[in-house]
Amino acid sequence: MIATKFGMPLAEGKPCATPEYVRTACDASLQRLGTDRIDLYYQHIADPTVPIQETLGALDELVKAGKVLEIACSNFATALIDDATKAAAGAGTARFVAVENELSLLRRESTSAHASTLAAPPARGAELIAAAERNNMGVLPYFPLASGMLTGKYRRGVEPPAGTRLGSPPEERRAQMFKAHRDWVLSDKNFDIVEALEAFATECGHTLLELAMSWLACLPKVATVIAGATSAAQVKANASAAGWVLTDADMAEVNRITLW
């Protein structure tokens, strides 16, 4: 399955969801990927300057042309998810079948990593799941491990190891954003939550990683979990970590720990 996105602004003031841009971006992705079809094509962020009907119309053309199998959205607010479904039904076009938003045990109701580029905060947590159920969409959470915080690799008062996501500063132009993100991830509040989650997972005979991935996999409408990896070992660990079927009591305890 090949999934890719369009729509993140590449230059200041450049439209990211006009029909012309959608067509051009799709053709460029097909060429770079060396394929003749994208299985799942995402609109990366909402574009408030372009009516959603116009974007959906262009995406529908791509589906009918066989260049795209299904379409999806990412970082969308609940209201826009509803609007997009209604617009597609009204015009008879292809509809978004999935939504990819940030969601983890540490990012349940907080602001998005892309907050500075978004017209409205994306749906998350209970609102996101409810919107997916309402619109019959799959949910694909990204950043499920909160930059590694939910693997247990970071410890309070200890500098992040070199080579980890938080131990390797990016180029200078993104340094300020990186620092803000790192400060949030490594906050005392998050360490309090992570330490409590790790104790709960251990008591149940599981690891913190298994809890983080399995909790997401047990949520309604979650189709799969998108996790980054920098080694084959991490790929295998992530893939095998979602086998814990949490009971209602387990979910209630997780809610008690993580919902402040």
- pLDDT single digits (tens) 205-250: 999 999 999 999 999 999 999 998 889 999 999 999 999 999 999 9
Cα 13 from Cα 40, distance rounded (Å): 27
Amino acid at 55: T
Residue whose entry in the numeric block shows the structure tokens 């029909």: 19
**Tokens at 81, concatenated:** 């998810």
**Tokens at 213, concatenated:** 């991935």
Class of domain 3-139: alpha beta
Would the pTM of this model clear 0.85, i.e. be above it? yes
Amino acid at 202: T
Instruction: Work out the number of other CB atoms within 10 angstroms of the CB of residue 193.
Output: 20
In this predicted model, what pLDDT tens digit does every residue of 51-103 receive, in sequence order? Answer: 999 999 999 999 999 999 999 999 999 999 999 999 999 999 999 999 999 99
Where in the chain are the domains? Answer: 3-139, 149-209+232-258
Amino acid at 253: E
